[in-house]
Amino acid sequence: MKKTWQLEDMPSLKGKTVIVTGGNSGLGYESVKVLAKKNARVILACRSLSRGNEAKSKIMKDQPQTSIEVMALDLSSLDSVRKFADAYKAKHNKLDILLNNAGIMNVPYGKTTDGFEQQIGVNHLGHFALTGLLLDTLKSTPKSRVVVISSLLHKKGHIDFDSFSYNKKRTYDPQVAYAQSKLANLLFAKQLNHLIQKNKLDMTVVSAHPGGAKTNLGRYQDKGSSFNLVKKIIYPLLIQTADQGAMPGLRAATDESVTSGMYIGPSGFMESSGHPYIAKSAPAANDLQTAEKLWKKSESLTGIQYNF
C-alpha cells in the first residue's frame, strides 16, 4: 500500500453508486464533494431534507455536472431506516459503496424512537440495520464495499450490553457512551467481514477513523478553561480540517489496494493527522467473542436478520 495516498490517487468512480450517511455536514459533506467530483452517483442521506438540499446546492454551485440525490434518513428511527432502504431499492438496483459515516458525539442523555440510548442507537444500531436492509443490493453488486467510520476514542470504549437502553439518567456518561458506540462500530465491521468471508461474498468491509478533525461533532464538549487551553495549544498541532479528516474514509471507500478487514486512519503523530494509512485498533476491537455477541444483540434489538 502506498503510504502517501492523496485524492489524486483516487480512481474515477464513473458508473458507481455511493451512499453517504450524514452527508450534509462535516466529514460526510466533504466525502460527498469528493465522490461526486470523481463522477460517482452520490446519495446524500441525512435526517433533514432541507439541510441536505442546501448541501447539494452548495456543492453543485462549484461542480454543476455532478450527480447528487438527497434522501431522508434518520438513524435514530428504525422505521426511517426501513423507509430509506425501501425507497432506495425502489430507485436503484445496485450499490457499490455504503459509507456509514453519520454519528453523534457526547450528546446529552436521550433515547432513540425505539428506546435505545441515542449514541449506541444512531452510531451503531442504525447503521447495523441500514447495512442489513441493503445487503441484498450490496451482494448483487460486483466488488461492493461497506465502510464503517469509527474514532480514536474507541480505545476508551467497553461494551456494556445492559447499557444500550439506559433507564436512569444518573447512570449516563456521554463520553463513556460515545466511546462504547465507536468500539461497537469496529466490532460490527469485524464480524461483518468475518461473515462475508465465511460466505465467500464478493464484498469488502473496511473501517476507518478521521483522527482529530474540526467538525461540529464535538459541539457538546465541555467548553471550560481546560478546553480553551487545549484548543489554543494542541489543536493546531493535532487537529485536521474536515476535508483532511475525510481522507481515511475516502481511501477506505475507493482505494483498490485496500483489502477487506483493514482499518484506515491518519499516519501521523498519535494517528491524529497525516496521510491515510493502516491504523492500529485497540485489543477490544479484535475480540471475536464480543463481536459475535454484539451481532446477536444487534439483530435482536433491531429485528434485522442478515441474509448471507
In CATH, which superfamily holds the domain spanning 13-301?
A: NAD(P)-binding Rossmann-like Domain (3.40.50.720)
Report field, pTM of the whole predicted structure over 0.85? yes
Label residue 165 by pLDDT band (50, 70, 90). confident
Q: Where do the structural domains in the chain lie, given as residue ranges?
A: 13-301
Q: What is the pLDDT of residue 229?
A: 45
* pLDDT at residue 235 tops 70: no
Who contacts 218 (Cβ-Cβ below 8 Å, separation ≥6)?
105, 106
Instruction: Share the mean pLDDT of the chain.
Output: 92
76 pLDDT higher than 90: yes
Tens of pLDDT, residue by residue over 252-297, are 999 999 999 999 999 999 999 999 999 999 999 999 999 999 999 9
> Is the pLDDT score of 213 beyond 90?
no
Q: Considering the chain, what percentage of its residues have pLDDT values greater than 70?
A: 90
- Which positions are annotated as active-site residues? 178
**pLDDT, tens digit (0-9, with 9 covering 90-100), for 56-71:** 999 999 999 999 999 9
pLDDT at 212: 84
